[in-house]
Amino acid sequence: MGDKKAAGFGRSDFHYDEQTDCYTCPGGKQLLRSRRNYSKPRKGIPKDGFIRYRAALHDCSACSLKAQCCPNTKVRKILRSQHENVRDVARAVSKTTAYQQTRKERKKVEMLFAHMKRILKMDRLRLRGLSGARDEFLLTATAQNLRRMAKCLGTGPPKIPETVPI
């Protein structure tokens, strides 16, 4: 939210500094939560959970990058979710090789569930109750394992000859 990728610069082009709680734009200017000098800095979160950071009008109006940054507004604004720190951690984790590996492993399991649902028609259960669901899943998993076993062994179902000799 608040990402104006279509305008040229997206939020990822702005650098957030946790110490000073402000963004630095590609033009090297600061986007602040507030430009007023309160005796007590205001750290409240708006009701929608997004904190607004704004560039100064005199910075943007004199900036050569304005056409790429905020062609339709006087100043550039960035919205930052109150949960952005957590999102940053998740983004950093998603770039690690360990995560890439777990994603590959997870895909193997999820593909089996997708296969169960779409090919083996497990999108709804026929039997009722927990024991019914368990039995149905066990049967489907068995069928799935038999298929995989036949594939691994290189043996498919027996071939039926096209013309039956009389």
Applying CB under 6 A, the residues found at the interface with ligand SF4 are 25-27, 29, 55, 59-60, 63, 65-66, 69-70, 76
Which CB sits closer to ligand SF4, 60 or 122? 60
> Closest Cα partner for 52 from 94, 19, 81?
81
Smallest distance, Å, CB 9 to ligand SF4? 7
Which CB sits closer to ligand SF4, 28 or 49? 28
Smallest distance, Å, CB 27 to ligand SF4? 3
Which CB sits closer to ligand SF4, 57 or 86? 57
Long-range contacts of 107-114 (CB under 8 A, 24+ apart): 112/144
Neighbours of 9 (CB within 10 A): 19
Q: At what angle do helices 129-153 and 97-118 cross, to 10 degrees?
A: 110
Distance CA 124, CA 139 (A): 14
